[in-house]
Chains A and B, each alone.
Chain A
Amino acid sequence: MSPLTTLWVLPLAGAGACLLAGRLGRGAARLCALAAAASFLAAALLALLPCLAAGGAAVFAEGGRTWAFGISYRLAADGLSLSLIALTAFLTLVCVAASWTLDVSAGYWACFLALASAATGVFLARDLFLFYVFWEATLVPMFFLIGLWGSENRRRAAVKFFLFTFAGSLLMLLALLALVTARHAASGEWTWDLESLKGTPLGPAAPWVFLGLLLGFGVKIPIVPLHSWLADAHTEAPAAGSVMLAGVMLKMGLYGLLRVSFPLMPGLTAAWAPTLAALAAVNAIYGALCAMAQADLKRLIAYSSIAHMGFCLFGAASGTSQGLAGSALQMINHGLTTGALFLLVGFLYQRAHRRGLSDFGELAVRAPWLSFFFGFATLASIGLPGLNGFVGEFLCLAGIARSAPPVFAAAGVLGVTLSAAYALPAYQAVFWAPAGPGSASAFVADLDAREKAILWLLCGLMLWIGLAPAGWVAFLEPSLRGLVR
């Protein structure tokens, strides 16, 4: 099997193996999941190596046969795809390791691996039908993760998540169908190949196709006001599910914009850039303001995700090489930082079964490592220079400052300013303030060795990207160069 196919088949095979191993017992399924996640990560890093050697520019392509209606099995990978796949693999392993002590059935582990497989497919597919199939396939395992292993209101959140994202996907499908039909009308040839569809004459339908794609991807990113599903889904999902949701699924939306929308319709992208930048500004500020008003840690982090994705959108909208590189890097950063925060809240929830800001207190004294890592990730999330979040935000905003009037950069910087106003009061309430009567702090034991190891890994990466981002940027930038222009 060729290397790129292996990348998405491997975790899926792992999911199947988990289900089989589940018949032997829960421990066997867990072990199987760990092995599958580890080998997936190894495969992802191995696939990354030749691309690294080529300075991120190399594009590995695999073309298969073509089916009816021009649907073809066509995969390709460049620096952007491979980085996101490596992130997916890394987070999958982190999720498996973080859920190690949960008493769950084989299906739980299989869902993570199936999700990883589908997301990998999204990042690899270069045939739009294939892209759509993988895109929809991510919904199913995530739906079950939320609906079966979530907290109190899981059913409602799962259904809401499904309906919102499914509606978005349908709009995307309609747009893709319009595109493919237009192509057929123009050249008499059916094709879903991304490369061949470039330059398809769409006529007056063009803005509608662009809008359809924007709405489809925008639900996932999510762009305000399409974000309503996010807070509920994040809040009710199990901790590791939130990690995948934030770390992988939100990235698919922005990846779709960069990979599909922008190259297919460069003219419209340029024309819509100010609108996109305005939407980014709304995301950054609206997300921060909403986060300030939350009383639940998970909801707060969910809204902060909206703000962070606003920065990614700024970078993408700028169309400059700084902005695009920043946007791609910020996707990775957000996966690491927000992933770490969701994990930590998950550890808290596992211990105390609560996650309200006022449910805790004094944790800095009771659980110093938990509070250290939470503080570290919080600082990365609010863009402290020297950590990863700053690099991404900085590059995105540097891009928008170059390509747009200063007011957009100012809005972005305002978002950075506000981030401290939601993150630090929350940190103080949980870790510094005295534990009130009825506080759950007494149940919170400090992190154990496994949990610490996971967080050292995540925080180490945050520090690495923050201090020496040059290599990361240089790796991502070549694949972005061709996307807009």
Chain B
Amino acid sequence: MSHVAVPLEAWLLFAAPVAALLIGFFLMRPLAPEKTHWPILLSCAVVTAASLSLAGQVLAGRSFDVNVWRWAAVEGWGVDFGLRVDGPGAAVLAMVAVVGSLIHLYAAGYMKGDPGFSRFFLVFHLFFLAMIGLLTANNYVQLYLFWELVGLASYLLVGHWFHKASARRAALQAFLVNRVGDFGFLLALLLLLARYKVARFHLLYLLVAAGRHEMLPVIAGLLIWAACAKSAQWPLYFWLPDAMEGPTPTSALMHAATMVTAGVFLLVRSWPLIAAVPGLPVVVAWIGAFTALAAALIAGTRKDLKRILAYSTVSHLGLMMLALGLGRVGAAIFHLVVHGFFKAALFLCAGNVAHALRQPTASVDEVGGWGRAMPLTYASFVVAALSLAGVWPLAGFFSKDAIVDAAWERGGLLAAAALLVCAGSAFYIFRMLLLTFHGARPEQKGLAAHPHEAGPGLAAPPLFLALGAAAAGALGPTGSRLVFSGLRGLPVGRLGGDLVLNLPGDPALPAFSWTTALLSAAFAAAGAAAAYRLTMADPGWDWRWRGGRAEAVLASDFGWTTLMARLAAAVAALAGFVGRVLDRAWWDGLLESGAAAARGAGGLAARAADGRLNDYLWWMTAGAAVLLAGALR
């Protein structure tokens, strides 16, 4: 029986944010709402230190998985809540803590003066807390709890500026689409508990490894469905681009750290279950490849800065799914971490550009040649963009290379898709870079905007994030050691005995391969060259092709968003029919017309009720007294 002591850091992960939220809500909000961010920033610092320390401990081989308290139990069937700090969890947690804290810092400057400042910061931190909980959960019920909390926080943040109809609509859409995904998660959870009697990851891995496969294809499929909603994969991706309606720090946090990565993480946690179903991993790979390619294509045609980045996120999440589907769990997590850095940096830069325009967001038509005026933002953007495009020696090169390598090994259409995504990524990000920070185009001349650098509070966080996006690649070997450490010989508290557990698939990052490196570099270069050709060499192109059928097709994401809108309208129409016609007019009407005669009698009763209430109550009391007398005699 090995009992594992939970290190202090693990408690701090929860204690600090909860304390900050309570202080923020009960003290700062009523007394000094404009200072709500102080306890919260402090909590961010604590969380960052704690999670880095935990990552170090995991690296040193001290992972743990313990149950802390019994949540609910009925007759030998129980759900315990606990903490699991292992390789994948600690790796993502470290990224989330660092990136998330920097975004908090940015938000303190960006949201200054907003009437909802205090509300924003409280929900923002709740978002952060929910993600921490999600990454340290040791069972599916607990994961679901934080999964839903993440969804709630994103709903409130996307709808932060709720006076805008578009923000309300986007928030609702985000929540409802995620609920459609949660259908899969909740049902999978119920079936797991019904068939396997446990929800704890570790026990499930063991049961599945021992050959228990009851309903596993269904359960694993439902989990993939849930991940498709949260991680914005086709067919449920469309809520994410619309979720741009929230303030920019929200988008940065959602895209980099706290929301969309949850789906990928769910699949990482479920991978031993999914991999046990023959043929299912490939489905994940195909979903990922298809989404990555389509989203990269659409990203190249969007004008709104944040929307370009949103489709870029969808595309990169697709790459992670592709890696997962090919069994490269390590590569998926590595790209998740690196993506967190560069995507957060890009969003904050886009925020700075919009900030200079005093708008919530900006379109490429409104900006151009701003590099000189905003040097720090420009520098951050360039580094992050190069990382995204996969330029050596930035981190994005290594993480993307690991995925391309997996696809190349597999060959066929998946390999072609991965390479095309490389080209597409380079194209859309260079297009965005060139249009925003380089040459002004003819139609922009009349613009009266005065670009200027944001204050240090807004310029510094993206710079740090870009630094991370540049350097995180150096963590490659260490990172992959981190991801896979703790999975072997993980002690499980109160379960007894050391257990050997391997995630199936390739346990380490692939060795550097010149073939894939050169191939992906060539495709990326082609994409970048195309972007230069179509923005700088032929500046009119970007608006010349618009207005035709092609734009209409691309604007509706090849018709998918139109279809989804029709589906939603159909459900609403069904509800309207059931509620107003079937229930009210038909069924209720039938009963009431049938009871027309009885209503006369009812009128009589109502007349009797007019002034004689007290009599009735007295009678009741008297009757009760008789009853009582009989009982007691």
Contact = CB atoms under 8 A, between A and B. Distances in A.
A68 to B, nearest CB: 11
Given A293-B576, A293-B579, A395 B72 contact: yes
Given A73-B627, A385-B149, A321 B75 contact: yes
A5 B631 contact: yes
Interface stretch (A47-55, A158-166, A196-204): A158-166
Interface in B225-251: none
Contact of B175 (A143, A402, A424, A477): A424
Contact of B176 (A290, A379, A420, A477): A420
B303 interface: no
A485 B632 CA distance: 34
B609 A143 contact: yes
A335 interface: no
Residue from A362, A432, A473 with most neighbouring chain B CB atoms (10 Å): A432
A110 B617 contact: yes
Main secondary structure of the interface of A (DSSP, over half): helix
Interface in A377-420: 379, 384-386, 390-391, 394-395, 397-398, 401-402, 406, 409-410, 413-414, 416-417, 420
Contact of A1 (B171, B588, B632, B633): B632
B218 interface: yes
Given A64-B630, A398-B193, A428-B172, A147 B609 contact: yes
B579 A303 contact: yes
B609 A290 contact: no
Contacts of B162: 364, 428, 432-433
A386 B150 CA distance: 12
Interface string A27-69: 0000000000000000000000000000000000000110100
* Residue among A141, A159, A402, A434 facing the most chain B CB atoms (10 A cut-off): A159
A159 B602 contact: yes
B617 A402 contact: no
Interface in B490-508: none
A231 to B, nearest CB: 8
B149 A144 contact: no
A398 B194 contact: yes
B191 A391 contact: no
Interface stretch (A12-20, A179-187, A270-278): A12-20
A165 to B, nearest CB: 13
B193 A401 contact: yes
Contact of A12 (B74, B605, B624): B624
Contact of B71 (A107, A148, A162, A468): A468
Given A73-B627, A147-B606, A424-B175, A107 B595 contact: no
A117 B627 CA distance: 14
A386 B145 contact: yes
A224 to B, nearest CB: 9
B576 A409 contact: no
A21 to B, nearest CB: 13
Contacts of B73: 470, 473-474
Contacts of B536: none
A24 interface: no
A107 B618 CA distance: 11
A289 B578 contact: yes
Interface string A275-311: 0000000000010011111100000000100000000
Contact of A385 (B69, B145, B193, B628): B145
Contact of B602 (A16, A107, A111, A162): A162
A422 B175 CA distance: 12
Contact of A290 (B72, B578, B603): B578
Interface string B172-189: 100110011011001100
Interface in B585-624: 587-588, 591-592, 595, 598-599, 602-603, 605-606, 609, 613-614, 616-618, 620-621, 624
Contacts of B632: 1, 5, 64
Q: Which range contains the number of A residues in contact with the other chain?
A: 35 or more
Interface size class of B (residues with CB under 8 A): 35 or more
Interface in A399-455: 401-402, 406, 409-410, 413-414, 416-417, 420-422, 424-425, 428, 432-434
Given A293-B579, A473-B74, A64 B631 contact: yes
Given A12-B621, A73-B630, A286-B578, A384 B148 contact: yes
B152 interface: yes
B560 interface: no
B575 to A, nearest CB: 4
A409 B195 CA distance: 13
A293 B72 contact: no
A362 B74 CA distance: 44
B172 A424 contact: yes
A15 B621 contact: yes
A379 B628 CA distance: 44
A325 B74 contact: yes
A300 B396 CA distance: 50
A262 B560 CA distance: 50
Contacts of B606: 147, 155, 158-159
Residue of A1, A406, A469 most packed against chain B (CB within 10 A): A406
In this complex, the member of B149, B155, B578, B583 whose beta carbon has the largest number of chain A beta carbons within 10 angstroms is B583
Nearest to A428: B168
B75 A384 contact: no
Interface string B347-365: 0000000000000000000
A114 interface: yes
Contacts of B168: 428, 432-433
Contact of A416 (B72, B176, B186, B591): B186
Given A5-B628, A163-B602, A413 B186 contact: yes
Residue of A107, A225, A417 ringed by the most chain B CB atoms within 10 A: A417
B179 A420 contact: yes
B144 interface: yes
Interface string A360-385: 00101000000000000001000011
Contacts of A148: 609, 613
Contact of B598 (A117, A163, A325, A394): A163
Contacts of B630: 64-65, 67, 73
Contacts of B592: 160
Contacts of B580: 293
Nearest to A12: B624
15 contacts: A5-B632, A111-B617, A144-B616, A155-B603, A159-B606, A286-B578, A289-B574, A289-B578, A290-B583, A291-B579, A321-B75, A409-B187, A417-B180, A468-B71, A477-B74
Given A290-B578, A424-B172, 13 more contacts: A12-B621, A19-B614, A117-B624, A140-B616, A158-B609, A228-B587, A290-B575, A292-B576, A406-B215, A409-B190, A409-B194, A433-B168, A477-B74
Interface of A: 1, 5, 9, 12, 15-16, 19, 64-65, 67, 73, 106-107, 110-111, 114, 117, 133, 137, 140-141, 143-144, 147-148, 155, 158-160, 162-163, 225, 228, 286, 289-294, 303, 321-322, 325, 362, 364, 379, 384-386, 390-391, 394-395, 397-398, 401-402, 406, 409-410, 413-414, 416-417, 420-422, 424-425, 428, 432-434, 468-470, 473-474, 477, 481
User: What 9 pairs between A and B have smallest CB-CB spacing?
Assistant: A293-B579, A159-B602, A292-B575, A432-B162, A385-B145, A73-B631, A401-B194, A290-B579, A401-B190
